[in-house]
């Protein structure tokens, strides 16, 4: 009987999904971004591909202010749902996933776009510039597919995502800014319009006003490029878990290609997605 129980236990273990076998830190390995000037930035990288898959899409996710530091581990804290999605979603293509870490003295942005009068600083924050230089190197090495570079982030990282797509037009194929904001000045909005964008925010966000995302959607719509926008009714600041565990978000993201028209409507399980989206636009976008 003991042998039978042991055999059954072993069979059960072998049948368990891969999600139970590899932890977040085992999948996202510690690396360091470096440049010729001696600047460095911690980064966690999941190289979920084989050499034969190269070049592969790259997804960069920027963390929030509470995960700032130099330990190269604290930034992983909010990405548990993403880790599970990557492990279990068989629709995802081979890709390089990266979660860099900025510090409080060197955040993703030089100033925060809380107000409509915000103007984008002339130069990027050193941390964000280092991420861009690293992506350039990955492209040059033949690792990253330049047509499939994606960026996203929440809170501080949401502001960093907007800054990146407004600063480097026609570079990113898709962006997922979560509870962030950017500049509504004409040139930065034109630059952002070269990237396919899906915006997320909680309507009851007490940390980053929902107006930050609403005015970005309105500015882009007036420019002729309508991003997707999901506003979680009654939700507060920490909505990123909803985003990370939504398989429709990642299916949509990987459909995007640099310089191409934004791919079709996200295939969300919510049949009322587009109705809600159009109602939001009607409420938040004032015709010019």
Domain residue spans of the chain? 18-284
**Cα 203 to Cα 211: distance, rounded to the nearest angstrom:** 9
Kindly report, residue by residue over 115-157, the tens digit of the pLDDT: 999 999 999 999 999 999 999 999 999 999 999 999 999 999 9
- 5 pLDDT higher than 80: no
Q: How confident is the model at residue 266 (pLDDT cuts 50, 70, 90)?
A: low
Quickly tell me which residue has 């977040």 as its tokens. Answer: 24
- The overall average pLDDT reported for the chain is 89
Give me the mean pLDDT over the 10-18 stretch: 41
Strand partners, 40: 34
Nearest Cα neighbor of 205 from 180, 177, 225 is 180
* pTM score, whole prediction: 0.87
Quote the pLDDT of residue 272: 39
Q: How confident is the model at residue 226 (pLDDT cuts 50, 70, 90)?
A: confident
209: CB partners within 8 A, 6+ apart: 114
CATH code for 18-284?
A: 3.40.50.1820
Helix (H) or strand (E) holding 84: helix 80-88
Q: How confident is the model at residue 7 (pLDDT cuts 50, 70, 90)?
A: very low
Quote the pLDDT of residue 12: 36
Which token pair is 191? 């630059």
Using CB atoms within 10 Å of the CB of residue 214, give its burial: 0 to 12 exposed, 13 to 18 middle, 19+ buried.
buried
Q: How confident is the model at residue 66 (pLDDT cuts 50, 70, 90)?
A: very high
């Amino acid at each position: 009987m003991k042998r039978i129980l042991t055999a059954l236990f072993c069979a059960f273990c072998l049948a368990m999904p891969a999600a139970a076998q590899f932890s977040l830190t085992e999948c996202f390995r510690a690396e360091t971004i470096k440049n010729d000037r001696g600047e460095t930035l911690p980064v966690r990288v999941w190289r979920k591909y084989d050499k034969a898959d190269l070049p592969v899409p790259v997804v960069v996710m920027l963390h929030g202010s509470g995960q700032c530091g130099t330990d190269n581990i604290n930034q992983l804290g909010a990405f548990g749902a993403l880790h599970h999605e990557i492990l279990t979603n068989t629709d995802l293509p081979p890709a390089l996933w990266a979660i860099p870490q900025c510090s409080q003295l060197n955040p993703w942005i030089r100033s925060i776009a809380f107000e409509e009068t915000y103007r984008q600083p002339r130069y990027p924050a050193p941390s964000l510039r280092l991420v861009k230089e690293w992506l350039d190197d990955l492209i040059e090495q033949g690792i990253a597919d330049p047509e499939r570079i994606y960026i996203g982030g929440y809170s501080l990282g949401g502001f960093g995502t907007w800054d990146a797509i407004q600063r480097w037009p026609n570079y990113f194929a898709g962006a997922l800014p979560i509870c962030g904001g950017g500049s509504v000045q004409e040139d930065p909005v034109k630059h952002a319009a070269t990237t396919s964008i899906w915006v997320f925010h909680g309507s009851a966000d007490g940390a980053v006003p929902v107006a930050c995302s609403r005015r970005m959607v309105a500015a882009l719509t007036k420019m002729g490029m309508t991003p997707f926008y999901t506003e979680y009714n009654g939700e507060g600041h920490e909505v990123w878990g909803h985003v990370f565990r939504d398989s429709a978000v990642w299916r949509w993201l990987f459909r995007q290609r640099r310089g191409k028209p934004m791919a079709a409507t996200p295939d969300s399980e919510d049949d009322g997605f587009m109705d809600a989206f159009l109602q939001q636009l009607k409420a938040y976008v004032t015709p010019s």
